[in-house]
Copies of this chain bind each other. A is one copy, B any other.
Amino acid sequence: MPHEPSGRLPQPAVGRLSLYFRELHRLNDGGTSHTSSRELGQLVDVSPAVVRRDLSAMGTIGRRGVGYEVVKLIDAIGQLLGSGVQWRVVLVGVGSLGDALLRYRGFERLGFRLTDAFDSDPAKWGRQVGGVLVSDASVMAGRLMETRPELAILAVPADQAPQVAAVLVGAGVSGILNFAPTMLKLPGTTAVVNVDLASELQRLAFSVQNSAR
């Protein structure tokens, strides 16, 4: 079956695929072997038609009366989303948010392995957080040149973010997940996804204010 080049999947579809992927893992863990566009749609709160469109864009067609094979869907989506491969990820900034991210158990199963953490505070060096060693941020560049992680999570204060990001890019990191409350502008092909926790709360407040009118 022909696969659409993944570059043509729009961002909202990528977000949905990621959610299907999570729910499929949960179904699989619970011993479910087959699912339907209706069930998947209910689990992630979209219509069955949207599920069918998203999955058929990947070249996956459900069989009438049988539905989709859960394991096959996990494989197909995982490959498309880059979770078929192992991604090595470093984290910079072991404050309370960085600490929570190191302890977060949702990354590993999606193929993301946190290999190293860095902080500028000597009190944190040598500690293990969530099984990851925290090292001196000033030796980060040299260490990354050796270990060559693909991705980095940035959980430093806003004013330190551009400088740390520059070091990460210089060491060959291809993508940065940025929790610092500032927009990162990076040279070249480095990908950035910004997560702004306060903006999410603001989006919620906006919805509430709107629906109350």
Interface residues, chain A, with chain B CB atoms under 8 Å away = 6-7, 11, 14-15, 18-19, 21-23, 43-45, 80-83, 87, 89, 95-97, 99-101, 103-104, 106-107, 110-112, 150-151, 153, 174-177, 181, 183, 185, 189, 191-193, 195-213
Contacts and interface: CB of A to CB of B under 8 A. Distances in A.
A45 B185 CA distance: 8
A155 B89 CA distance: 23
A112 B201 contact: yes
A200 B193 contact: yes
B208 A191 contact: yes
A199 B44 contact: no
Given A7-B213, A209-B82, A199 B22 contact: yes
Given A6-B210, A174-B208, A81 B193 contact: no
Main secondary structure, interface of A, reads helix
Nearest to A211: B189
Contacts of A80: 206
Contact of A22 (B101, B153, B181): B181
Contacts of A183: 19, 23, 43-45
Q: 9 tightest CB-CB pairs across the interface, nearest first? A: A191-B207, A106-B198, A96-B100, A82-B205, A100-B100, A175-B208, A82-B209, A18-B199, A97-B100
